[in-house]
Amino acid sequence: MKIDRRSFLSYTTAAVLGGTAGSMLTPAPWKLIDDAAIWTQNWPWTPVPEDGEVTYKKSVCTLCPGGCGITVRLVNGRPIKIEGSKEYPVNKGSLCPMGISGLQYLYGPSRVTSPLKREGKRGEGKWKKVSWDEALAAVTKKLSELRATGRSQSVVCLTGSDRGTIPNLIDRFLTVYGSPNFIRSSTAQDAIEQAIYLTQGKQGTPIFDIENANFILSFGSGILDGWGSPGRLFNLYGGLKPTKTIIQIEPRLSDTAAMANQWVGINPGTETALALGLAHVIIKKSLYDKNFVENFAFGFDDWTDEDGKTHDGFSTMVKNFTPEKVAQITGIDKTEIVSLARNFARASKPIAINGRGQGDVPGSIDESLAVQSLNALVGNINKPGGISAIPDSNYAKWPEVTIDEVASKGRQQPRIDGAGSEQFPNTRFLLNRLPEILNKTKDESPVQALLVTAANPLYTLPDTASTKKAFDRIPFIVSFSPYMDETAAYADYILPNHSYLERLQEVPTDAGISRQVIGLAKPVVQPIYDTKHVGDSFILIAKALGGFISNAFPWNNYEGFLKETLKDQWRELNRKGMIEIENNTPEPLAYTFNTVSGKFEFYPTARNTAQPKNRSALPSYTPVPIEGDIQRFQLVLIPYDTIRLASNNIANSPFMTKTIDDTVLKKQTGMVEINPTTARGLGLKEGSTALLTTPKGKATVKIHLFEGIMPGLIAIPKGLGHTAYNKFLANKGTNFNDLIGPIEDPGSGLDMAWGIRAKLIRI
Amino acid sequence: MSSTDQNQTVSPKAEPEAAPDPIHHGPETNDSPPAKSSGWAVFLFFMIGFAGSLLSGWILFPELLYSKKSQPIDFNHALHLDEVSDGCESCHYFRDDGSFSGMPDLGSCIDCHEEAQSDDPEEIKFVDEYVTPGIEVPWLNHSKQPDCVFFSHSAHVMGADMSCESCHGDIGTSEHTRVYEENKLTGYSRDIWGHSISRLGKPEAGTPRPMKMNDCAKCHEEETGHKGACFQCHK
Amino acid sequence: MKEKNDYKQAKRYGMVIDLDKCTGCGACMVGCYSENNVPFKADETNKLDSINWIRIFKITNDKPYPETETCYIPMPCMQCDGVGKHGHPPCVSVCPAVATDYDYDTGIISQIYTRCFGCRYCMAACPYHARKFNWWDPVWPADMEKYLNPKVSPRMRGVVEKCSFCFHRYQQARDKAYLEKREELAENEYQTACAEACPTGAITFGDLNNKNHAVYKLKNSPKAFRLLERLNTNPKVYYLTSKKWVRRAGDNYLTHEEPGKIKNNMKEHH
């Protein structure tokens, strides 16, 4: 048989056809189709999370000072979800978006995974991984050098809080080391606690018993925008009975204002005038608590001092604040003011609160005093539904320290920030003053070493540019941040702390006026990176410094320190995860005050009245001089807070940023809100791009038209415009602090800026 | 169908191979003379292709499709079943939340096997390579379902009172682990498709049941009257 | 497509969202992301390609300052029962792959990622924009893959996903019930992640057919309404509001029409 081309083709075709026909009768093609389909369903790069036994661990969230109880769900020991803990008395199961997205901080791309030493220029982002021994030795060497040359007071420790054992451990370190410069980041708490100190003579953390109040008069406090403990307040709001009333006073319809029973639009920065105007009406209509005012208060009526000089009392002073005048200042209708005052005073349990937005900026002492006076007028001090202050860390006891001469000398030096000085006698911390002081000093910088923990001043301090300049003057910056935040990115050494889910820490919080809750944040996982508890780092540095410093830290680690400070409370705390401490609140009307007069002082005698010269100690209204020439800058820029944006030391998680509306952020550009009528005058439309300029800086923004903002204002969200962290957050929108500078309250030194003049030009 | 069957069916048809040429050698064709493709030859080649593909499809294909692996330890189920009091559930138990523990972890084994109890080389290997260093045994799971599947042991064992054997066969009485066959394309165990490549007929008694979605649906339809909605078994 | 009207409809899980209590905080969204392995990417500001199983919309009454009011509307999948509650929601009817179906036991609409081939007909059919398409493979940076929930399958590029009413939680609750030889689930045994996450308790979840569940009573409240009710999609997500303008925004009402007073011409016949 010969095979030519043609028959070859025929036979081959026949064989192929035969093969095809045959294979149809085999499982191969059908099985392959099925398998191929399955193959496309299981790509190797699509993760398959490992399943296993589900367990739960309870802890306390420390991402903000709110101190909410959390329940962490784990699968095979791997944390997969955070939910609010229903049994925890502070938040009762409620949690904010930040708390829920906590695992993104634990596992996220912003973690500093080992100690780092700066390689390039500051902030350049070039790092060298170093061992813990090397990093701790470097810090010890620097501190020991400064101490040896008599400059121990030039070491500044900056923390986010002064409550709890970690800040206390750091303060103890500074005490034996020899520096008075322990600085807490400022918040509205500073102004409020000072007002409480001035009127009641009581130093401590302010508490607002919103749980038991039924008429909440909020001077711009974003109680549903992240003010105070968000978990606690959201939970409270959810359980509100219709008989409770919330009045929100602010120039922009915030989420709190939207949910309030009444929103009162007010000219920004005039809250003090309104508070005094309400006081006027309450006194004039004789609606105040006469028992309290007559028996337990001082300075309500005119009084004569030892020298025979007569002083105006509170009731005389507020006579200036007639509804007509206040209406003019605040832009609120006269009748509205009268009815507000009436409703407030007639409510059975009214409370007035302040601290704008999330309460990040202290505001003026006058404002806090005026609000305290309103509360006093309705007799709402130290009783359920009222306000009070609890002493700091009264539950922890630790052994006294012995200090050497160097420490004693250093400790007696004046504080660098001026807090507690003659000028600002009642202020404890003044971080906002630090940049200016550093930038003004011609000689050697008064800060030779800055140790930062739980704070991010390069993002949160107003006037970022000058803060950066000031930091350039500090020769040695150490960050203990677990995350690569702006300050860590600008440090010389990073000694990363454990993230909050890997860290042991007791967390003091408030759940209303009558009890303090001490929670225990227990590690839910072993540290996943090469990090160290900040308390352990300080103990190790203290030990390495030797002598009295070492002696003051006999503990092996922070855990040992914590157990000893808590003494017999430790066991209960460890077992139950929290302890509740009843506050020694005086019975209603058994008012005791530690003031000079022994009464609640409408006229705060302890107040520094030197600035402005010979002013009355009574709260008064003088407009905060906001920066900018009205001719050049015809609009006013104010910040706003939302619970979806974290503007404090810990920034947004990717999940939080994902929730942000496209009217707040569009690609990388931040959006500002203006009233449509204002926009019309400027030729701006929804989505227009514009250049926002203030005396401090400029930024490109997009326009979002919003009827709910007072014409003439621009509102910008806080919490955007990061330069550090990760690609899910960095370079998105504008940091409000790039556009504003601090304005010092003459009496307290605290920052009282609420806005800045600005202009918008279409580009 | 077994391989001997195929050989029998193929061989008689191969016979015409000798004869095709002369039969269809007709003068009618106008093509170049020396050889013309005859119908018989075409048929012959057709049958060669046909038979070849049948052979490879039924015999070679399954061999090529699956790779064979053996378990890290040759586990003796029968031996363990004698020792425990609660049958299969002694080791493959339900957790309190209703989830099924599946393959036991070292924690379950360590009570008895902290040290080797016999001279059995497999047990010594288990202790030395896994228990002592604390490494979980990477057992190969014959019944492993893909991630999109939610299979409720609770619903079947507790809800429908099914026995373990009704799906997993008599693995509980086996003395040795069997070869694990892994589909090279999908990574699935051969047990999921079923041991029979044709999926025809019922699996022999004592062998595990096939566990593809159709198998689930078929049984559900028989037992409950409907196949069930997607979310009943998917996640 | 199979049609199973013959067996009894045991449960109709649904949700009632009290808009008077919703502060727009976003906890439901974040709770959902983290429960359901919802991915995220560097830029999430284009909401058309941003995957959300529940998304909060903000609406205003458009009145000038200071008469302005705003309201947040959280929108999960509405889990529509379809016309006449026959289990034919708009999306299920158009799916050519049976990648989404109606579960007559629970009333929940499934989405099976391994079955979906990404034609996106269902997205076009859904009047609520509840469905989202995976234009990219999800990426969890750094060590974030470790927090993925094994009870929910991570998705791949090219498939549609949507809210499942946390059906995996139902599966887990059923598991426990089977173990304890129970037929019924207690109300609190099966709750969605968003309902649990809501810090003000604005979201209530339960069986709309069960008289003892909170949603049963709430859905009959005079304050209750559903979105685009007149499309007869029969959503199982109800909203409560005391504000008239919010209710008006819930459907395309003509100026003379009064929400709540219009007879729905095809309403709930069976």
Model confidence pLDDT, tens digit, residues C47-96 = 999 999 999 999 999 999 999 999 999 999 999 999 877 789 999 999 99
Q: Is the pLDDT of residue A717 over 80?
A: yes
Residue B30 has pLDDT above 60, yes or no: no
Measured CA to CA in angstroms, residue A750 lies from A364, A434, A745, A753, B216 at distances of 7, 11, 5, 9, 70
Residue B139 CB-half CA count within 13 A = 15
E strands of chain C, at which residues?
13-18, 55-60, 70-75, 132-133, 160-161, 203-207, 224-225, 237-240
Contacting residues for A182 by C-beta, under 8 A, at least 6 apart: A156, A157, A159, A162, A167, A170, A171, A174, A429
Size of interface A-B (CB pairs under 8 A): 119
How many Å lie between the alpha carbon of B126 and the closest alpha carbon of chain C? Answer: 29
pLDDT of residue B23: 46
Look at residue B26 in the predicted model and tell me its pLDDT: 46
CB pairs under 8 A between B and C: 80
- A290–chain B Cβ distance below 8 A for any pair: no
The minimum CA-CA distance between A24 and chain B, rounded to whole Å, is 8
Tell me what pLDDT residue A608 has: 80
Distance CA C230, CA A388 (A): 54
φ, ψ for residue A177 (rounded to 5)?
A: -75, -40
CA A190-A196-A202 angle, 5° bins: 105
The 10s digit of each residue's pLDDT in A325-341 is: 999 999 999 999 999 99
What's the Cα-to-Cα distance from A246 to each of A227, A259, A275, C195, C241, rounded to whole Å? 14, 8, 16, 25, 18
CA–CA distances in Å: residue A392 to residues A205, A446, A750, C4: 6, 29, 20, 66
- Residue C40: which of C27, C23, C53 has the closest Cα? C53
Are B50 and A2 inside 8 Å of each other by CB? no
Q: Which residues contact A485 (CB under 8 A, 6 or more apart)?
A: A110, A456, A458, A459, A479, A649, A650, A651, A724, A725
Q: Whole-angstrom Cα distance, residue A624 to residue C73?
A: 38
In this predicted model, what pLDDT tens digit does every residue of A15-62 receive, in sequence order? 999 999 999 999 999 999 999 999 999 999 999 999 999 999 999 999
Please name the residues in contact with A506: beta carbons below 8 A apart, sequence gap of 6 or more.
A164, A165, A396, A518, A519, A520, A521, A562, A566, A573
pLDDT digits (tens, 9 = 90+) for A152-201: 999 999 999 888 899 999 999 999 999 999 999 999 999 999 999 999 99
Mean pLDDT on A667-688: 97
The interface residues of chain B toward chain A in range 89-128, judged by CB-CB distance below 8 A, are: 95, 97, 99, 101
Q: Which of A106, A234, A708 sits opposite C68 (nearest CB)?
A: A708
Helix axes A405-412, A165-177, angle to 10 degrees: 110
Q: Which residues of chain B lie closer than 8 angstroms to A18, CB-CB? A: 45-53
A593 lies in the same domain as A639: no
d(CA B165, CA B170): 6
> Is there a domain that residue C65 lies in?
yes
pLDDT, one tens digit per residue, over B152-181 is: 999 999 999 999 999 999 999 999 999 999
**Chain B residue closest to C165 (CA)?**
B231
Q: What is the pLDDT of residue C264?
A: 55
- Determine the distance in angstroms separating the CA of A736 from the nearest CA of chain C, rounded to an integer: 20
Nearest to A63 by CA among A653, A660, A673: A653
* A564 CB within 8 Å of a chain C CB: no
Contact by Cβ (8 Å): A717, A733: yes
Range(s) of the domain holding residue C204: 13-249
Give the pLDDT confidence score for residue C1 in this predicted structure.
Answer: 38
Phi, psi of A603 (to 5 degrees): -105, 95
Same domain, A212 and A286: yes
Question: Would the pLDDT of A722 be above 70?
Answer: yes
Probe site for chain C from A259, A484, A660, A686 (most C CB atoms < 10 A): A259
Whether residue C8 lies inside any domain: the answer is: no
Q: What percent of chain A has pLDDT over 70?
A: 98
Q: B146: which chain C residues are within 8 Å (Cβ-Cβ)?
A: 114
A355 half-sphere exposure, CB direction, 13 A CA radius:
27
Environment class of A549 (CB within 10 Å of its CB; exposed 0-12, middle 13-18, buried 19+):
buried
In this prediction, residue A581 carries a pLDDT of: 80
- Taking contacts as CB-CB distances below 8 angstroms, the residues of chain C near A358 are none
Q: What is the model's pLDDT at position A593?
A: 87
Q: At what angle do helices A365-377 and A188-200 cross, to 10 degrees?
A: 50
Q: Which of C5, C88, C171, C189 to mutate to test the interface with B (most CBs of B within 10 A)?
A: C171
A240-267 residues labelled b (16+ CB within 10 A) or e (exposed): beeebbbbbbbbbbbbbbbbbeebbbbb
In chain C, what residues touch A666 (CB-CB under 8 Å)?
Answer: 45
Q: Cis peptide before A612, with omega less than 30 degrees from 0?
A: yes
Contacts of A661 in chain C (CB under 8 A): 58
Nearest to C173 by CA among C206, C145, C144: C206
Provide the pLDDT for residue A393.
Answer: 58
Model pLDDT, residue B15: 44
Question: Which SS3 state, helix, strand or coil, does residue C3 take?
Answer: coil
> If you measure CA to CA, which chain C residue comes closest to A104?
C144
C-alpha–C-alpha distance, residues A472 and A466, integer Å: 10
**Tokens (6 digits) for A465:** 């540019």
Q: Which residues of C touch A230 (CB under 8 A)?
A: 25, 199
| Mean pLDDT confidence for A466-485 | 97
Chains that touch C (3 or more CB pairs under 8 A): A, B
Asked if residue C43 is part of any domain, the answer here is yes
pLDDT digits (tens, 9 = 90+) for A266-288: 999 999 999 999 999 999 999 99
Q: Measured between CB atoms, which of B21, B35, B147 is closest to A4?
A: B35
- Identify the CATH number of the domain in which residue A369 sits: 3.40.228.10
Residues A379 and A462 in one domain: no
Helix axes A132-148, A534-545, angle to 10 degrees: 50
Please state, in angstroms and rounded to a whole number, the distance separating the CA atoms of residues A98 and A105.
Answer: 10
| Position B22 pLDDT exceeds 90 | no
Residues A525 and A414 in one domain: yes
A362 and A438 co-located in one domain: no
Q: Provide the edge-to-edge strand list for the sheet that holds A69-75.
A: A54-60, A69-75, A78-84
Please list every residue in chain B whose beta carbon sits closer than 8 Å to the beta carbon of residue C153.
Answer: 147-148, 235
From B94, B146, B227, residue closest to C179, measured CB to CB = B94
Whether C265 shows a pLDDT value over 60: the answer reads: no
pLDDT(A586) > 60: no
pLDDT of residue C176: 97
DSSP strand E in A605-712: where? 635-640, 665-666, 669-674, 689-694, 697-705
Domain segments of chain B: what residues?
3-25+36-67, 77-86+141-233
Nearest by CB: B152 against C102, C153, C175: C175
Q: In sequence order, which ranges of A178-310 are alpha helices (DSSP H)?
A: 188-200, 230-238, 255-259, 271-284, 290-296
Looking at per-residue pLDDT, the higher value among A76 and B29 belongs to A76
φ, ψ (nearest 5 deg) of residue A350 = -85, 155
- How many beta carbons lie within 10 A of that of residue A307, not counting itself? 5
For residue range A371-417, list pLDDT tens digits in order.
Answer: 999 999 999 888 888 888 877 656 777 788 899 999 999 999 999 99
Give contacts of B235 with chain A, Cβ < 8 Å.
none
Q: Token digits for C152? A: 């929910």
- A33 at interface of B, judged by CB pairs closer than 8 A: no
- How many structural domains comprise chain C? 1
What are the CA-CA distances from residue A97 to residues A195, A747, C33 (Å)? 32, 37, 11
Q: Do B51 and A17 touch (CB under 8 A)?
A: no
Query: Contact, C34 vs A100, CB < 8 A?
Result: yes
pLDDT confidence bin for A512, thresholds 50/70/90:
low
* Dihedral sign (CA B142, B143, B149, B154): negative
C-alpha closest to that of B168 among B158, B160, B156, B159: B156
Cβ within 8 Å, pair A42-B147: yes
B82 against A515, higher pLDDT:
B82
User: Would the pLDDT of A745 be above 90?
Assistant: yes
Contacts of C171 in chain B (CB under 8 A): 150, 152, 231, 235
Partners of A351 in beta bridges:
A216
Global confidence as pTM: 0.93
Nearest beta carbon to residue C178 from set B154, B225, B231: B154
Pair A210, A224: CB distance under 8 Å: no
Please give the full DSSP string across A328-373, using - where no structure is assigned. Answer: HHH---HHHHHHHHHHHHHSSSEEEEEEEETT-S---HHHHHHHHH
pLDDT, tens digit, 9 for 90 and up, residues C7-55 = 345 799 999 999 999 999 999 999 999 999 999 999 999 999 999 999 9
Shortest distance between the Cα of C45 and any Cα of chain A, in A, equals 5
- Tally of domains within chain A: 4
In a domain, A156, yes or no: yes
pLDDT reading at A515 higher than 60 = yes
Q: Is residue C3 part of a domain?
A: no
Q: Sort strands A697-705 and A669-674 into parallel, antiparallel or unpaired.
A: parallel
Domain holding C88: CATH number?
Answer: 3.30.70.20
Token reading at A456: 């991010």
8 Å CB contact of B155 and C101? no
Residues A373 and A287 in one domain: yes
Are residues A581 and A284 in contact, defined by beta-carbon separation less than 8 angstroms? no
CA distance linking residue A594 with residue A289, whole number of Å: 21
Which chain A residues have a beta carbon less than 8 Å from that of C21?
237-238
Q: Whole-number mean pLDDT of chain A?
A: 93
Q: Which residues of A touch B185 (CB under 8 A)?
A: 32, 35-36, 38-39
Q: Which residues of chain A does B101 touch, with a Cβ-Cβ cutoff of 8 Å?
A: 53
Q: Which of B231, B232, B233 to mutate to test the interface with C (most CBs of C within 10 A)?
A: B231
Query: Is A413 inside a domain boundary?
Result: yes
Lowest mean pLDDT among A649-653, A679-683, C84-88, C223-227: C84-88
| pLDDT for residue C9 | 52
Q: Is residue C205 part of a domain?
A: yes
Residue with structure tokens 């509100």?
A240
Contact: A47, C66; criterion CB under 8 Å: no
Which structural domain, as residue segments, surrounds residue A668?
Answer: 635-762
Task: Tell me the C-alpha distance between B164 and B102, whole Å.
Answer: 12
As to burial, measured by CB atoms within 10 angstroms (0-12 exposed, 13-18 middle, 19+ buried), residue B119 is exposed
Secondary-structure percent of chain C, ordered helix, strand, coil, rounded to 5: 25, 15, 65
Query: What tokens does B55 get?
Result: 């052979």
Say which of A18, A20, A42 has its CB closest to residue B186.
Answer: A42
